[in-house]
Structure 1
């Protein structure tokens, strides 16, 4: 099992309500699970955004070369 680190974050009342709704749904057992899932989605989205930037740049390089 990986080493875990505890962090403290500040959230808005709306974000708190969203976290509680996810917990109430039964899909997640803890706020930590919700946040880990959210971070995985953010990581995926960031990778896709970077790829979208790099692909046109690489295509531009190929046309110039």
Structure 2
């Protein structure tokens, strides 16, 4: 198992309510688990955006040739 690091973040009351609702729903066991799921989605979205950017750049460079 990897070593976890504790961080502090500031969130809006609406974000807090969403996190609490997700935990209360039983979908997640804790706010930490919920935040890790959110970060996995962000990681996936960023990887897709990078791939799109690279594909666009390659297309753009190919158009110059």
> Which residue does 1:54 correspond to in 2?
54
Q: Once the 2 structures are TM-superposed, how far is the Cα of residue 52 of structure 1 from its aligned partner?
A: 1.0
Of residues 11-20 and 50-59 in structure 1, the stretch that sits farther from structure 2 once superposed is 50-59
Number of the residue aligned with 1:13: 13
Q: How far off is 1:59 after superposition?
A: 1.8
The alpha carbon displacement at 1:61 in A equals: 2.1
| Counterpart position of 2:45 | 45
Structure 1 unmatched ranges of 5 or more: none
Which segments of structure 1 move beyond 3 Å, counting only runs of 4 or more? Answer: none
Q: So what's the TM-score if we normalise by structure 2?
A: 0.90
TM-score of the superposed pair, with normalisation by structure 1: 0.90
Task: Give the C-alpha shift of residue 14 in structure 1.
Answer: 0.4
Note the C-alpha offset of 1:9.
1.0
